[in-house]
A and B are shown apart, each in its own frame.
Chain A
Amino acid sequence: MKQSLRFQQKNILTFILVLVFLWSLRVIDWKEPLLHPGGGTTFLQIMEAMIQPDLSPDILLLALDSAWVTITYAVAGMTIAIVIAVVFGVLASGVLQSSQKPFSTLSKSFFRAFLGFLRAIHELVWALLFVAAFGLTPYSAILAIAIPYGGILGRIFADMLSDVEKEPIQALLSTGASKWQLLFYGYFPLVKANMISYTMYRFECAVRSSAVMSFVGLGGLGYQIQLSLDDLNYEEVWTFVLFLMAIVMVIDGWSSQWRSRLTKPSSRFSLLSFFVSFALVIGSWMYLYIREHASFFTLFTDENGQYAKKFFLSLLGIGEETPAFFSAKSWLHILQLSYDTLMMSIIAIGIATIVMLITVVPAARNVANGKLTMNRSPFHRVSFLLIRASYILSRAVPELIWAMMIIFIFQPGILPGAVALALHNFGILGKLCAEVIEDLDERPIRHLSSSGASHAQILLYGVLPSVLPKFLSFILYRWEVIMRTTIVVGFVGAGGLGQQFKLSMSYFHYSDITLIILCYLLLVWLADFLSELSRKAAK
């Protein structure tokens, strides 16, 4: 009995997850119309504009300028993030601490928790908070990138440092090296390639974040997209979106070239890349200093200090009669919104999963060329290209920008937020899962095929059992990310905690903000915990 329960664990888990998804759909009011009266027309207009973006010189020049600003903020943010990540990553890995047991474990968990806190809050939330505290200075954007990215990078650095091969470290210890010497002669050289590779990947994400976050009014591609959307000028919107996609692709290409050469010693490309990144860092900070007159130290003027102090005090509810976090009514309201937000994330991952499952098989290269199914047709080739193109578009456009467009089409509520999140995530899920299929061992499948199994049977007996566990783990992982992002799509009016956050921000109800962030952190923590739990159950 126990044996069979263990055997069924995966199926039970899948069943539960499907039920949860169906349950979440109840939150949406299906009786009301879901679309705006003119939603369909708007949708067509947006799609039409995609094919004919505005390519007038003015707009192109503006796009180029905004793109440079976006890159500058991303580079400057990453510079600070790397400093945070190296310092706290080393501390969280415990390689410098003395080996005294209780102290070293305690300090390790302390710094790990600190890094966890840094990455728990989405960069856009930081951006809004910093704009409220420091005003519209580039540093609001830079710090908003630096903090969560420092947290993510630091966490990964810490893991890399504690996972290094032990033999070289022991050998260095026996030569009498100190802890600091071990760090520079052992740990850092051992993880250098992985560190650069992961930092490059994160830089790519930072450019996207930087573009998006400028919608709060900071200058950059996101801001331009917001302005053009306000003018209902969809042709311009697509120009800026295409620019964003182009930058991200260039960086992606560069970083994958660099990464593939990292393991090879003394590659000229690596050296060149190193100098290019160095020049980017110097150039970005110079630009900030000269063009935007934004010296880092102007942040710390008296006036700014007073303003920031007032902001943080009001976050704590000081000077308010009943701060929101002491009022039962506010709690009830925010908890209701938290529940809605949770449901939004579940609907989003549900939709993304369904679309992914429908499209993923023809999207795998080994299915398209007939290697896996022993069946080749031009139809496969075409559907492969179409689906892959839709994946690229899906993940190249950030959630927030999808949401900005979607709210023109759908009635306000949970659904537009969920759809926007799903739109961005099905491409990511599709790519990851298609790669799982591409990595399948082909021999058992060929065997099934040669023993006369039909396509459906091959899928059922050969493909699904071996890929489903990996799919599940990707789906859960993306759900964690979606949970962090739900608040963001709310900013543009797509419901949930984010919408309330933006409202409270505009009414200067800062103690509401504290309560919302508290609930948001709880949700993020809950999502991480549940997903970890399910992943363990699926093993």
Chain B
Amino acid sequence: METSQNIIELKDVSVSFDGKIALSSLSLLIKKGERIALIGPSGAGKSTLLNVLSLSNVSGTGTIRIDGQPPSFYRNRKVRAKKIGVIRQQFDLVNALPVVHNVLAGKLADWSLFKSLLSLVIPQEKEIAEYALSRVGLVHKISEQTGSLSGGEQQRVALARLLVQQPEVILADEPVASLDPARAEDVLDILTKLVQEEKQTLITSLHSVDYAKKYFTRVIGLREGGMIFDLPVDQLTDRHLKDLYKLRETRE
């Protein structure tokens, strides 16, 4: 039954900023190994939901259980880093550092301060970085300045960092938003392949319905902080999508 265990349970989670509701009483069960796409118009609450799941948003109400444990269990950064990893748009990397250090940053939770300082001079456990980079096809760029890489390459470096960090759940917030279609497909292709190989759980917010259909197993439609649908990808129809994205003429 290991594979069908719920790794994430949300019950009646609500979040609001300045009196504006960002998520309204959302309940959600996610099993290990699922690949979930969050879609919906801008401002639907996709990023808020991901922030809740990454435990960086503490202002909401409701219950959250990650692998059966409450958020307080993950207050220790090392415990949290082993459970949850995050990837956003391509601005997540420190451009002034060589690629190898950005990848090895995935190990910081395990390293002492001394070891992390030493590593900036002589890279420690370099073979881990090499292996991770080889899996995203960038091992030849290991000593290059991160800032000199293209957008797609930078996003693959971020993936290599996640490989080194090895969290059980990966939260991706618009990971391909600033890439052209070819690079975007490339990154999503690698991301979903790696997640399957590592038996991780993936939750991604996306703008493109096509990518959601192509790379994910389950699609959740959000709109104005509420869930419009939550379906296995093969049951998704055009009607659902039309409902999700239609412009509402009058509000209340």
| Contact of A189 (CB < 8 Å), options: B88, B94, B117 | B94
Is there contact, CB below 8 Å, between A186 and B81? no
B245 at the interface (CB under 8 A from A): no
- Tell me whether A377 is interfacial, beta carbon within 8 Å: no
Question: Which residues of B (34-78) have their CB < 8 Å from a CB of A?
Answer: 54, 56, 77-78
Contact of B96 with A190 in the complex, beta carbons under 8 Å: yes
**Contact residues of A between 159 and 201, Cβ < 8 Å to B:** 165, 167-168, 170-178, 180-181, 184-186, 189-190, 192-193
Please tell me which stretch of B104-112, B124-132, B180-188, B236-244 contacts chain A, meaning at least 4 of its Cβ atoms lie within 8 angstroms of it: B104-112
A194 CB to nearest chain B CB (Å)? 10
Q: Which of B2-10, B141-149, B196-204, B213-221 contacts A (4 or more CB under 8 A)?
A: B141-149
Establish whether residues B165 and A176, one from each chain, have CB atoms under 8 Å apart when the complex forms: yes
Given A184-B117, A189-B96, A265 and B148 touching (CB < 8 A)? yes
Q: How large is the interface on B (under 10, 10 to 19, 20 to 34, 35 or more residues)?
A: 35 or more
Asked whether A185 and B94 contact (CB < 8 A) given A176-B108, A178-B113, the answer is yes
Q: Contact at A175–B158, with CB atoms within 8 Å?
A: no
Shortest beta-carbon distance, A428 to chain B, in Å? 31
Given A168-B93, A184-B116, the answer on whether A177 and B147 have CB atoms closer than 8 Å is no
Pair A185/B116 contact, Cβ less than 8 Å: yes
Docked Cα-Cα span, A167 to B111, in Å, equals 22
B contact residues vs A (CB 8 Å cutoff): 54, 56, 77-78, 80-82, 84-89, 91-97, 101, 105-106, 108-109, 111, 113, 116-117, 120, 144-145, 147-148, 158, 161, 165
Q: Is the CB–CB distance between B101 and A185 below 8 Å? A: yes
Q: Is A322 interfacial (CB 8 A cutoff)?
A: no
Known contacts A178-B108, A265-B144, A265-B147; is A189 also within 8 Å of B165 by CB? Answer: no
Contacts of A327 in B (CB 8 A): none
Contact call A181/B108, Cβ cutoff below 8 A:
yes
The verdict on A451 contacting chain B, using a C-beta distance below 8 Å, is no
> How close is A224's CB to chain B, nearest CB, in angstroms?
43
Is A266 an interface position by the 8 A CB rule?
yes
Question: Is B92 a contact partner of A171 (Cβ separation < 8 A)?
Answer: yes
The distance in angstroms between the C-alpha atoms of A167 and B93, with both chains bound, is 8
Contact with B along A59-90 (1 / 0, CB 8 A): 00000000000000000000000000000000
Q: A170 CA to B82 CA in the complex, in Å? A: 16
Q: Which A residue sits closest to B107, measured CB to CB?
A: A175
Most buried by A among B80, B89, B91, B108: B108
Question: Can you sample 18 A-B contacts with CB below 8 Å?
Answer: A165-B91, A168-B93, A170-B56, A171-B88, A171-B92, A173-B77, A174-B54, A174-B56, A174-B84, A175-B106, A175-B165, A178-B113, A181-B108, A184-B116, A185-B94, A185-B120, A189-B94, A193-B96
- Residues of A in contact, count (CB < 8 Å): 23
B78, B105, B120: the one within 8 Å of A172 (CB): B105
A residues with CB within 8 A of B: 165, 167-168, 170-178, 180-181, 184-186, 189-190, 192-193, 265-266
Cβ of A192: which chain B residues have Cβ within 8 Å of it?
96
The distance in angstroms between the C-alpha atoms of A185 and B97, with both chains bound, is 8
Taking CB atoms, residues of chain A closer than 8 Å to B109 are: 175-177
Complex alpha-carbon distance, A181 and B81, angstroms:
14
- Please give me the residue from chain B that is nearest to A174 by CB atom: B86
User: Would B106 and A181 count as touching, CB distance under 8 A?
Assistant: no
Task: Indicate if the CB atoms of B97 and A167 lie closer than 8 Å.
Answer: no
What are the nearest 10 A-B pairs in CB distance? A176-B81, A176-B109, A265-B145, A171-B92, A177-B108, A167-B91, A174-B86, A189-B96, A176-B77, A189-B97
| CA gap between A193 and B113 in the complex, in Å | 23
| Closest CB in chain A relative to B136 CB, distance in Å | 16
Given known pairs A168-B92, A189-B97, the reply for A177 and B158 (CB within 8 Å) is no
In Å, the complex CA distance between A170 and B165 comes to 15
Structural contact, A181 and B111, CB atoms closer than 8 A: yes
Give the residue name and chain of the B residue nearest to A265 (CB).
B145
Closest residue of A by beta carbon distance from B90: A167
Q: Are A176 and B80 in contact (CB under 8 A)?
A: yes
Identify which of A173, A180, A186, A193 contacts B94 (C-beta below 8 A).
A186
